[in-house]
């Protein structure tokens, strides 16, 4: 069957595409740059013998990315069974100082696109008894002075996860949410991080191995579950002084 990976040309998205191809899944890969995503698709098709196609969509400016995605899926030889949404974008100046246009761009990528694609792909996934995989962030564990819009959007994905699970029984649809810690990607390159960044390939192996194992919500790497619990347990007067 076919897996749809949105945000597939780099970082965790690319690692997921590699692991899915290794496991024999046909792929529709979505990213913003056509040359990048077509190169990834061509490489995976050659190396693993799967059908892999690339599709370029500017999610920051697309009101309805699902139209292009649906047309591309109709051309795939096998039906959609997995929707993976490792897309995300953040800005260093996301500190309650952004103008409306910049806020809109962050919300378009981090929240609007996942919502639109989940709504549009849901009938296909229900027919296939498939799986939706959402990717949140440790940044959404508690309100913070940095990455304000990004964190709010990622926290909203928890609500989407719960809504999907409340609406559909596990036998109809599996729903999985990963709250990610720091990954070694272009978004964290050169940053001073409070914890070591994980290899996206290691995360991808865990995610793909769990695709058929039912619904659930996890932190990856797992140590971030403890970090989030500590952050949430801090008294407000203490937490506020952290200014992070």
Give the CATH number, domain containing residue 188.
3.40.50.720
Question: What DSSP character marks residue 80?
Answer: E
Domain count across the chain: 1
Its domain, for residue 32, covers 2-240
Over the chain (244 residues), what is each successive 10-residue block's mean pLDDT? 95 97 98 96 97 97 96 98 96 95 97 98 98 95 91 97 96 97 68 71 97 95 92 90 70
How confident is the model at residue 241, as a pLDDT?
A: 82
Q: What pLDDT does residue 240 have? A: 86
Predicted pLDDT at 135: 98
């Amino acid at each position: 069957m076919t897996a749809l990976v949105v945000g597939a040309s780099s970082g965790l998205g690319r690692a997921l595409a590699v692991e899915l191809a290794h496991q024999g899944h046909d792929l529709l890969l979505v990213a913003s740059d056509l040359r990048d995503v077509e190169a990834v698709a061509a490489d995976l098709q050659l190396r693993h013998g799967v059908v892999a196609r690339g599709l370029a969509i500017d999610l920051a400016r697309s009101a309805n990315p699902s139209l292009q995605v649906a047309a591309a899926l109709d051309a795939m030889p096998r039906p959609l069974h997995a929707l993976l949404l490792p897309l995300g974008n953040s800005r260093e100046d996301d500190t309650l100082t952004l103008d409306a246009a910049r806020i809109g761009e962050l919300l378009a990528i981090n929240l609007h696109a996942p919502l639109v694609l989940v709504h549009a792909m849901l009938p296909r996934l229900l027919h296939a008894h498939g799986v939706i995989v959402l990717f949140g962030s440790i940044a959404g564990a508690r309100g913070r002075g940095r990455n304000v819009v990004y964190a709010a959007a990622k926290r909203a994905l928890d609500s989407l996860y719960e809504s999907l699970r409340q609406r559909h029984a596990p036998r109809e649809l599996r729903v999985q949410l990963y709250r990610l810690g720091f990954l070694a990607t272009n978004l964290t390159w050169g940053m001073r991080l409070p914890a070591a960044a994980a290899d996206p390939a290691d995360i991808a192996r865990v995610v793909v191995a769990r695709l058929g194992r039912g619904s659930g919500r996890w932190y990856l790497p797992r140590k971030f579950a403890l970090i989030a619990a500590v952050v949430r347990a801090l008294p407000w007067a203490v937490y506020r002084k952290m200014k992070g």
